[in-house]
Structure 1
Amino acid sequence: MKYSIKNTALDADHIQAVILAIFEGGKLSPAAESADKQLQGEISKLIRLGDLRGNFGQTLLLHKGERRIILVGCGKAEEINERRYKQLCRKVVPLLKEIAADSVLNELTEVALPGRDLYWNIRFAIETTEQAFYAFHRFKTRQKDEAKAPKEMIFSVADKEANSAQQAILHGTAIASGIKQARDIANCPPNLCNPAYLAEQALALAEREARIHTRILGEQEMAELKMNAYLAVSRGSANEAKLSVIEYKNHPDPQAQPIVLIGKGLTFDAGGISLKPATDMDEMKYDMCGAAAVFGVMNAIAALNLPLNVIGMLAGCENLPDGNAYRPGDILTTMKGLTVEVLNTDAEGRLVLCDTLTYAESFNPRAVIDIATLTGACVVALGQHNSGLLSDNDQLAHAIENAAQQADDKAWRLPLSEEYQEQLKSNFADLANIGGRWGGAITAAAFLSNFSGAYPWAHLDIAGTAWLQGAEKGATGRPVSLLVQYLINLSEQ
């Protein structure tokens, strides 16, 4: 869908549908008041008759000639927040599908959000609308004729706010596209989306974007680098591990230190010898959502032309059991030289990430953020609403927290003090790969911290936020919005 801004009248000829906000008690927004006058008080009449109360989430569709008017109940104005605003944006989508209008004037951006301005209203509207229209039907052979999205959504903006609104459209569309890219890859079945497929997507991105160069490390190159922990996880699979390194160079100083984003890319995780239960194992195709998110971010920053150097790594691998698979009790020597006793082969993500974190040192990074569906313990701790944030660097952690709040892509910081290292002691190696039952999300990050001392580092555990279950099963594309906002903030410093 195309998004644009115009200081336009509600009854302009090119407008086929208008979205208006009505508050509880029948209070009309300014645009709704203007429309009511043009309609000789028809909206007010509906309120008097009780057909329209303005209750939160209520919608009503009016037909006036060739123009459709969508009235949206917003509840109490003082109770509107980011979450409720996005819910209202989603409520409109089924009606937009029903009427199939080519051009829509969206006046929901008049709804005031505490602490936000028009930029955020427009950006949130774009991101939410695009996500609500998203569907992944690539592998369906019997597809229903689905209503298409409007060709254009217009936001009515005064001339003095045009620059801010245009920036919101630029940011919102780039982020929404990045989220879609992440969801498309993550929703692919594991018989197609394997480490080689991730590498193909990374190479294709470089072909599309002049500022991006991609190179792929196969198992031979990893062996030469002594990435033995990474390779151990891959041993049980017929699909070769591949580390895709996507370099985006656009800083005015070509030698400027890059930001490195590392995405866990377990394209399928059966748990290895420590086999997972069969129930819901199909969802383990989503164990590569960290890599999918990084891929989405790299697409978004290229579209935004951010003046930064950024390296995205897709740590592609597959964890399966066979006669060559690594075992509980094995001791692995990592690229860093530390030895790790494997107590559970299903704690494989940290073994892939620890060697990738060590490899990241070669880029002399300004900061490194790894993104991983790492632990079920994080889901127990934070549920499906907040990603887990862990870091031993307060400045970096605060920058990520700020970006999460700005983008409304929630993250919650968990502690990472040295006491948790005690749980990783091994009688036979430098480290154990699990730390016992308690604080599992924290001990997983504590394990990774042993490999990240050369640079500022943060870890995002997205096990609870990367995909949805049940009737809405599918990848969410989080935390693309958070990470792009973090990079936007850096580019503006």
Structure 2
Amino acid sequence: MDIKTITGRLQPGTVELTVVGVFQDSAGQVSEHIPGGLRRALADAWARQEFEGKLLQRFIVTSTDADLDRVLFIGMGPSKEFDVHALRKIMGQAAQTSESLKVRSVGFELPEADYAALDAVTAAVEGWVLGSWRFEGYHQKPVDRQIPALVLAGIQDDEAAALGIKRGLSLGQAQNLTRELGFMPSNKLYPELLAQEAVKAGNAHGFEVEVMDEARLAELGMGALLGVGQGSVHPPRLVVMRYHGHGEKTLALVGKGITFDSGGISLKPSANMEEMKYDMLGAGAVLGAMCAIADTKPAINVIGIMAIAQNMPSGSAYKPGDVVRAFNGKTIEITNTDAEGRVALADGVSYAAHLHPDWIVETSTLTGAVIVVLGHEATGLVATDTALANQVITAATAAGERVWQLPIYPEYKALYKSAVADMKNSPGRDAGTITGGMIISEFAGDVPFAHLDIAGTAWTKEGPLTAVSGATGVMVRTFVQLAHTLG
């Protein structure tokens, strides 16, 4: 991807498309260096209320001047609300528009705002990388694409510019890896293959990867993860990734990696079941975050764990009424095989606790209930430790990802009490997102624990950073920010 910065303004004729940001409270006024004909076209559109500078609103003008070819005026919203998160979205929108216009080069002068140059360049590059991404798919004839070269103008700090490009590329590409894995169908990404993707990423980015197969899982007593995967011809895997930041503290990230969730014996309805290939996006987020963490090198040790399985119905599948034993010895009565994520994560989280980290943060596409509560706008947080919960929320806010904490009340624990085991996996509809997170927390021991339910945010409809409906790469940015904050 061709991205560079320059200290001055864009020179006429250097790019095929110039992107000009316009604030909603600017009355349609832009910099005097924009040719008069273009400024008059903008003023006319503003007077007709065709363009008002609302965030991500677009107005394209073909110049009659020799100075500029085409200009994309793009709304930046109210100036007092503009920040790096708005800039990230604007650049994603600009990337999508520029490709549709089939231009080969794009220029954008970063607007003046209350942000550091490093943060601005990072967000701009990251937005461009995210907005440019498409899943190539498996078409007989591959789609011919050309991503335009990008020139960011007005960056006075060369060191910040170079580091911002590097960080923006790392963050964007890490999220795109998560999205790529999410889009892949389960016959192309079953547990063994997802584990292999982790090995490849570790080799590329410089972190250690250990893959535990079904024999090793049995040896360690991971009956929960084995139980979830025993109905599939593709056996489960536990992947342990290690980044050594030479810090005094260790953060463990754990992700749910159900490469396809049919519901098992408690079979899901057929409508939209194809979306269940996305049920591994918690593990995908952990893998993407490990890549960017290894690239950006925070002073903290990070363990990334992916609990990977396929949940399928068959003669060997686990059944309602079965009891499985997790790595830490706790037993789980299976009352609904479609509540498999918390069962698989029981082994992933208890193994993380066994490694004695200072914090465990887990993420999973766990419950439909979180969509009822928060829609597709925020990730649900359930935490056993107030300090960790606040640190996760702070990191998410800094990363531009919304997280909302849900309460833990003692009465909820009675909902998953079992007469035949330490707990049951599916206590019912009441407080479903909360009890799901609480069940997983039972396997963290005394380690401060936070659960992030991304069922509503891991895949969404198209937007400025997602050109098509599908995987978003959510939580990658938050995890990277958290690692740097805690380190």
Q: Common fold, TM-score beyond 0.5?
A: yes
Choose which of 185, 195, 198 in structure 1 pairs with 2:194: 198
TM-score (norm 1): 0.90
2:152 equivalent in structure 1? 154
Letter in 1 for 2:21: A
Contact 2:353 2:445 in 1 (8 A): no
Q: Is the 8 Å Cα contact of residues 353 and 360 (structure 2) preserved in structure 1? A: no
Asked if 1:275 is matched to 2:276, the reply is: no
Per-residue CA distance 1:226-274 (angstroms, 9 max, x = gap): 11111111111110111111112232x5xx4421111100001111111
Write the distance in 1 (CA, Å) between the matches of 2:482 and 2:323. 38
Quote the Cα distance in structure 2 between the aligned partners of 1:47 and 1:182.
39
What residue is the counterpart of 1:110 in the other structure?
111
Distance 2:335 2:24 in 1: 58
**CA deviation profile, 1:129-188 (whole Å, cap 9, x unmatched):** 222211112311234433x222233232134xx444444333222110100110111111
Question: Partner amino acid for 1:134?
Answer: W
SS at match of 1:327: coil
- The yes-or-no answer on 1:411 pairing with 2:410 is no
Counterpart AA for 1:484: V
- Residue identity opposite 2:6 in structure 1: K
Asked if the contact 1:118/1:165 (under 8 Å) is kept, the reply is yes
Identity across matched positions, percent: 32
Distance 1:343 1:48 in 2: 64
Change (3 A) 1:340 1:99: closer
**Alignment pair present for 1:62 and 2:54:** no
Per-residue deviation, 1:410:
1.0
1:399 paired with 2:364, answer no
1:459-493 C-alpha deviation (Å, 9 max, x unpaired): 111111111259933211111111111112233xx
Residue identity matched to 2:148: P
CA distance in 2, matches of 1:229, 1:95: 47
Using a 3 Å threshold, how does the CA distance of structure 1 residues 272 and 119 change in structure 2: closer, same or farther?
Answer: same
Change (3 A) 1:290 1:75: closer
What count of residue pairs does the alignment treat as equivalent? 476
**Which residue of structure 2 lines up, in the alignment, with residue 43 of structure 1?**
38
d(CA) in 1 for partners of 2:81, 2:123: 17
Aligned to 1:10: 10
Give ranges in structure 1 of 5+ residues lacking alignment.
none
Aligned with 2:220 (options 211, 216, 225): 225
Q: Is the 8 A contact 2:59 2:73 kept in 1?
A: yes
Query: Closer, same or farther in 2 for the Cα pair 1:2/1:274, shift >3 Å?
Result: same
**Equivalent in 293, 297, 306 of residue 301 of structure 1:** 293
**Residue 381 of structure 1 corresponds to which residue in structure 2?**
373
Measured at CA, do residues 270 and 46 of structure 1 come closer, stay the same or move farther in structure 2, by a change above 3 Å? same
TM-aligned CA distance change 1:344 to 1:486, over 3 Å: same
Kindly report which structure 2 residues correspond to 1:315-326, keeping only aligned pairs within 5 A, or say none.
Answer: 315-326=307-318
CA positional deviation for 1:26:
6.2
Match of 2:448 in 1: 456
1:378-420 superposed Cα distances (whole Å, 9 cap, x missing partner): 1111111111111111111111100111111111111123221
CA distance in 2, matches of 1:336, 1:224: 13
Deviations along 1:86-107, one digit per CA (max 9) or x if unpaired, are: 5533442344114544443212
Measure how far apart 1:277 and its partner are: 0.6
Contact conserved, 1:233 with 1:351, CA < 8 A, in 2? yes
Q: Flag the 1:472–1:11 CA change in 2: closer, same or farther, 3 A.
A: closer
Question: In structure 2, how many angstroms separate the alpha carbons of the residues matched to 1:45 and 1:71?
Answer: 13
Q: Map residues 36-435 of structure 1 onto 2, 5 A cutoff.
A: 36=34, 39=35, 41-50=36-45, 54-55=51-52, 56=54, 57-63=57-63, 64-65=65-66, 67-78=69-80, 80=82, 85-107=87-109, 109-110=110-111, 112=113, 116-146=115-145, 148-159=146-157, 162-209=158-205, 211-251=206-246, 256-435=248-427
Q: Is the 8 A contact 2:38 2:61 kept in 1?
A: no
CA distance in 1, matches of 2:94, 2:327: 52
Looking at structure 1, the residues matched to 398 and 275 of structure 2 have their Cα atoms a distance apart, in angstroms, of 30
**More divergent stretch after superposition (186-195 vs 481-490):** 481-490
